[in-house]
Structure 1
Amino acid sequence: MLNEWYMPLLAFGLAWWLTRMCCDPGSVLYFLDHPNERSLHVRPTPRTGGVGVMGGVLGAGLVLGLVRGFAPSMWAVLGGAFGLAVLNLVDDRSGLPARVRFAAQALAALVFLGLADLPGPGWGLLPAFLGLVWMANLYNFMDGSDGLAGGMAVFGFGACGLGAALGGDMTLALLCASIAAAAGGFLCFNFHPARIFMGDVGSVPLGYMAAGLGLYGWQQGLWPLWFPLAVFSPFCADATVTLLRRAWRGEKIWLPHRTHYYQRLVQLGWGHRRTALFAYGLMCACGVGALVILPFAFPVQIGVITIGCIAYCIIGVLVDQAWRRHQNGPT
């Protein structure tokens, strides 16, 4: 029997193999993403790399669940991710109405919340539900540049795995490590110049799992609620601020666009590679910083989080200023 401690390696291998298959023009999973005015790529590229990611996650996750025994809410996370992956594979191929995709996300969130015994008052289920749905969508919104979403999965779930290990929950640690490893297998083909994109089949389930496992770790007392938000904050901050700004301007927030901070960096001349490497540095800093302050008292945690928020504000202002100069042209 395959040793459970090799599950991250299994996840990496499965993801690498399946992603490579999806890069083959003869594959039935070779769905092309054609460039348009809102795209950052210039040539048609397959967008089913998420099949590799989710294949690795589900392969390793099923073995872990059977050998170690998952709590019902962990099975709900894995099952919900599988259901969302199948639905979004259909969406990547043929397109589905937004209400169908949202209904599936809402159902997955409700099933998880029904099985999870989250701490706190009953009204806390509403923000938890909104968080699950929002994370599924924001991860999808942030999947628009080579290497970005795959890198966030490596760093974000890697940090969660280390946090779970420090808390003594090796089952959750191995699952998070397997998700990070599966993203790494996909990233071999997605780092610039990308041979394949993740697509909704991978990005939406990854966002859902980030929220679901983050809440599960909180329920188990492994970390405070801020911890999963901090390790995924490069995505959370960019997507949330961009959404609020677009809503403030009266734009249709559900339509594709190119106004995320990472998109602006690419358009400002940084390109996909430099933007991804900068994001990796930020992701690594957030994950390491969150792990370092995890054992400290709450006032220390709040102080460091405040410093991090200030840093994000400074980065945002600098990008906004550079973007305005770019739009206005040379003076």
Structure 2
Amino acid sequence: MIDGLSFSLVTPPLIAFTVTLILIGWLIKSSVLNVLDHPNPRSLHTRAVRRTGGLGMMLGVAASWGSIPATLPISVSLGIALLVLVSFADDIFGLPVLGRLLMHGAVAVWFSVALLLEAHGWMIVTIITILVIWMINLYNFMDGSDGLAGGMTLIGFTCYGLTAWLAGDESFAVINFCVAATAAAFLIFNFYPARIFMGDAGAIPLGFLAASLGVIGWVNNSWPLWLPVLVFSPFIADASVTLVRRCLSGERFWQAHRAHYYQRMVRSGLGHRNTALLGYILMLGSGVSAMWAMHQDITVQLGVGVIWGGIYLSMMIVSERYLEPSPGD
């Protein structure tokens, strides 16, 4: 035992961290995959930054999962591979929106049908499919400020891992800890001022992992279905409300913009560092409260959800009142 944790619980995440650290360090210096994210009027950065960090993260995840006896459904592992390939092609060439959405939908349908159809029927499959597609895309929408998506990945998947471990599912806990470990390595290079971005090849599969592992944990009885929603609620609340506002105002919601609440915070003077740190406080709060509330009765669980809804609503009202977007945003 190592400080009360088994060797098998520590080694795979250590592999994930080390492989990701080495690969991202190489990707920053290498001229082989010199894919740059150039600043544009919708960007929050002012210089070209490499956007290949997600490749290092996903290879770190793959290397660490290879050392774990437990396996995930093929719809998850192969789904991640397909999303990485399509998303990296988009990072390089800029693929049509419809083509990307069709791939997201295909992966989500495959995962939901394979895992849920027999036991839960088509209605649950349809609902989960829509939620998976949305999670895939909202994670990408929220990856626009130094350290933000990396921090959500570290905190969110650590909460998944701890909850699964406390529920007695060590193998599933390790799977989640490995994802968190890759994020820890990535943050060394991505926290402000970022030297590399994760790009779509990182954000898209991470969104899929947040959704799919959240559903698998529910199926395995490691946690209630609402726990993943609360754990990742800082991202879900911002992206969902922003999408609704843009749709209601008749905007093309699929186009790049700077109307997210975290983008307003960065541009208001808080900057990338303080916005990320505030985000980490929200992430830790929502994650810890979710882990605590799942052991309470339904009244307390509903109360926790209402409190967090009030927190997000209050923050949005303050943002609307004091952090007005620039003209054209």
Q: TM-score by structure 2 length? A: 0.94
The answer to whether the Cα contact below 8 Å between 1:4 and 1:63 also exists between their aligned partners in 2 is: no
Partner of 2:37: 33
SS at match of 1:258: coil
Deviation at 1:189, TM superposition (A): 0.3
Cα-to-partner distance string for 1:217-249 (whole Å, 9 max, x where unaligned): 111111111100000000000000000000000
1:8 equivalenced with 2:13 (yes/no): yes
1:228 equivalenced with 2:228 (yes/no): yes
Q: Aligned partners of 1:156 and 1:83: how far apart in 2?
A: 23
Deviation at 1:276, TM superposition (A): 0.3
- Residues 229-244 of structure 1: matches in 2 within 5 Å? 229-244=229-244
Moved more, 90-99 or 142-151: 90-99
User: What is the total number of aligned residue pairs between the two structures?
Assistant: 319
The answer to whether the Cα contact below 8 Å between 1:58 and 1:82 also exists between their aligned partners in 2 is: no
Partner of 1:48: 52
1:203 equivalenced with 2:203 (yes/no): yes
Cα-to-partner distance string for 1:156-201 (whole Å, 9 max, x where unaligned): 1110111111111111100100000001111110000000011000
Superposed CA RMSD: 1.5
Q: Aligned partners of 2:201 and 2:15: how far apart in 1?
A: 20
Deviating above 6 A after TM superposition, structure 1's stretches of 4 or more consecutive aligned residues are none
1:84 equivalenced with 2:88 (yes/no): no
The answer to whether the Cα contact below 8 Å between 1:136 and 1:206 also exists between their aligned partners in 2 is: yes
Give, as a single letter, the amino acid of the residue that structure 1 aligns with 2:300. V
Partner of 2:140: 140
Cα-to-partner distance string for 1:131-180 (whole Å, 9 max, x where unaligned): 11110100000000000000000001110111111111111100100000
Identity %: 44
Cα-to-partner distance string for 1:258-299 (whole Å, 9 max, x where unaligned): 000000000000000000000001100111111111111111
Deviation at 1:114, TM superposition (A): 2.6
- Residues 1-331 of structure 1: matches in 2 within 5 Å? 4-5=8-9, 6-24=11-29, 26-64=30-68, 67=69, 69-72=70-73, 75-117=74-116, 120-324=120-324
Q: Aligned partners of 2:308 and 2:113: how far apart in 1?
A: 34
The answer to whether the Cα contact below 8 Å between 2:53 and 2:202 also exists between their aligned partners in 1 is: yes
Structure 1 unpaired stretches of 5+: none
Moved more, 91-100 or 126-135: 91-100
Q: Aligned partners of 2:67 and 2:222: how far apart in 1?
A: 23
Give, as a single letter, the amino acid of the residue that structure 1 aligns with 2:278. F
Deviation at 1:71, TM superposition (A): 4.8
Moved more, 298-307 or 236-245: 298-307
Q: Aligned partners of 1:17 and 1:137: how far apart in 2?
A: 28
Q: Aligned partners of 1:290 and 1:95: how far apart in 2?
A: 38
Q: Aligned partners of 1:104 and 1:59: how far apart in 2?
A: 24
Q: Aligned partners of 2:23 and 2:8: how far apart in 1?
A: 21
The answer to whether the Cα contact below 8 Å between 2:113 and 2:125 also exists between their aligned partners in 1 is: no
Moved more, 193-202 or 294-303: 294-303
The answer to whether the Cα contact below 8 Å between 2:108 and 2:132 also exists between their aligned partners in 1 is: yes
The answer to whether the Cα contact below 8 Å between 1:33 and 1:47 also exists between their aligned partners in 2 is: yes
Give, as a single letter, the amino acid of the residue that structure 2 aligns with 1:99. L
Give, as a single letter, the amino acid of the residue that structure 1 aligns with 2:152. M
Moved more, 256-265 or 94-103: 94-103
Give, as a single letter, the amino acid of the residue that structure 1 aligns with 2:65. G
The answer to whether the Cα contact below 8 Å between 1:78 and 1:209 also exists between their aligned partners in 2 is: no
The answer to whether the Cα contact below 8 Å between 2:54 and 2:199 also exists between their aligned partners in 1 is: yes
Q: Aligned partners of 1:82 and 1:160: how far apart in 2?
A: 22
Deviation at 1:63, TM superposition (A): 2.2
The answer to whether the Cα contact below 8 Å between 1:21 and 1:27 also exists between their aligned partners in 2 is: no
Give, as a single letter, the amino acid of the residue that structure 2 aligns with 1:259. A
Q: TM-score by structure 1 length? A: 0.93
Deviation at 1:56, TM superposition (A): 0.9
SS at match of 2:139: helix
Deviation at 1:22, TM superposition (A): 1.3
